[in-house]
Amino acid sequence: MKLMLGPPLFHLLLSCATQTLGVRIDAVPAVNDEGVITTELEKTVSLVCHHEGGHETEEELMWLRNDAAVSLKEGNTMGSSQVCVTPIYEDHGATFTCHLKKNATISASVTLDVTFPPQLSGSEEVTLEEEDALVLSCDIWANPQVSPVSWKLNGSTVDLVEGGFIMTNDGSTSQLTTSSVDRSLHQGTYQCSVNSTKYGQYNKVFYVTVTDKTIKFPLMPIIAGLVVVFLTALLAIASRWKKIRQCCK
C-alpha cells in the first residue's frame, strides 16, 4: 500500500511546494513563449509580479533591471509588485526580473524587444573646397534592422569607382567618403535611403557645394617671426642707446 501511494503523494507535495515558492509576471503587452515583450519607444509597458504563495501572500518582492535594483515605492513590494516602463533606446534588450527578497533564486524574468525606426530625415548643406575630404554620414540604427543603404548622386546610384568613394556601414552609421573632392565629380545632391519592414522608407539629403581652393597662409609662424624680428631690433637699439644719445646731442 505504501508503495502504491508513495509516488502520487510525492508529486502532490512537489506541486504544493512549487505553488508556495513560485513568482510570475503578468504584462501588458503580453509576454510571448520566449519571455519577450515586443513594444515601441515611449509606449508604456506594465509589469506585475505576483507571489504564488498560497498562505504566504505577504512575501516581499524585489525588481531588477538587468543587474541593477529598481527603486519601488513603499507598499509596492508585499505579495505583488507593479513596475511601469516607458521604453527608451537603452531599454532594448533589457531584462526585468522579479524575485523574493529572502531568496533571489525564486524569480521570473521578461526581456524587452523595443522597436524603433532609423533617425534618418531632413537635409544638410555641405560646403567644402577643392581637394578637401568629403564625409557624409547617415544614422541607420533601427530595430528591426533596415535594408542595405543606397546612396545616390543627382538621382543616380553613386559610382564608387569613378568618384573614388568609400562606403562603410557598421550597422549604426553608413558613411560615404572621398579623400579629395573634385567639383566636376562630387558637387551635387546626395541622398541616402533605407527601407524598414515595419516603418517604411527613410531618406536624408545632402546638398554638396565645392568651391575654389584658397591659399592658406601660415598665420601663426608669420606672427612668431615678426615678434622675433621686433624683439631683436629692440635689443639692438637698447645695446647702442648710449651711442645713439651722443649722436643726437
13 and 96 both lie in a single domain: yes
Q: What's the CA gap between 198 and 212, in Å, rounded? A: 44
d(CA 52, CA 38): 25
User: Are 132 and 162 contained in the same domain?
Assistant: yes
Cell, residue 230: 621686433
Do both 78 and 149 map to the same domain? no
Classify residue 10: in a domain, yes or no: yes
At 93-142, the pLDDT tens digits run 999 999 999 999 999 999 999 999 999 999 999 999 999 999 999 999 99
On whether residue 219 sits in a domain, the answer given is no
pLDDT at 57 over 60: no
Assigned domain for 226 exists: no
Q: What average pLDDT does the segment 7-24 reach?
A: 45
Query: Is residue 235, in this structure, part of any structural domain at all?
Result: no
72: domain CATH number is 2.60.40.10
Question: Based on the domain organization, do 36 and 139 belong to the same domain?
Answer: no
What local confidence, expressed as pLDDT, does residue 60 receive?
92
Confidence of residue 182 (pLDDT cuts 50, 70, 90): very high
Pair (6, 111) in one structural domain: yes
36/144 Cα distance (integer angstroms): 15
- pLDDT at residue 52 above 90? no
Task: Provide the residue count of the chain.
Answer: 249
What pLDDT does residue 58 have? 75
Is 22 inside any structural domain?
yes
Pick from 162, 167, 100: nearest CA to 140: 167
Q: What is the mean pLDDT of residues 22-48?
A: 95
Helix (H) or strand (E) holding 180: none
Which of 62, 83, 115 is the endpoint of a domain?
Answer: 115
Quick check: 7 pLDDT over 70?
Answer: no
pLDDT band at 160 (very low <50, low <70, confident <90, very high): very high
Is 111 within 8 Å of 95 (Cβ atoms)? yes
| 147 and 87 belong to one structural domain | no
β-pair partners for 138: 174
pLDDT score, position 8: 38
The identity of residue 7, as a single letter, is P
pTM for the full predicted model: 0.72
Residues 143, 180, single domain; the answer is yes
Domain count, the chain: 2
For residue 158, being part of any structural domain is answered with yes
Whether residues 106 and 196 share a domain: the answer is no
DSSP string over 199-231: TEEEEEEEEEEEEPPPP---HHHHHHHHHHHHH
Domain containing 181 equals: 123-211
**Least confident piece of the model among 7-16, 38-47, 93-102, 127-136:** 7-16
Please give the span between the terminal C-alpha atoms of the chain, in angstroms, as a whole number. Answer: 140
Per-residue confidence (pLDDT) for residue 203, from 0 to 100: 97
Same domain (yes/no): 56, 143: no
Give the pLDDT confidence score for residue 101 in this predicted structure. 93
For the chain, give the percent of residues with pLDDT over 70.
Answer: 78
Mark whether 72 and 148 lie in a shared domain: no
Beginning with the edge strand found earlier in the chain, give each strand of the sheet holding 173-178 in spatial order.
134-139, 173-178, 166-169
The answer, yes or no, to whether residue 235 has pLDDT greater than 90, is no
Residues near 107 by Cβ (< 8 Å), separated by ≥ 6? Answer: 23, 97, 98, 99, 100
The torsion of the CA quartet 60, 64, 69, 72, rounded to 10 degrees, works out to -50
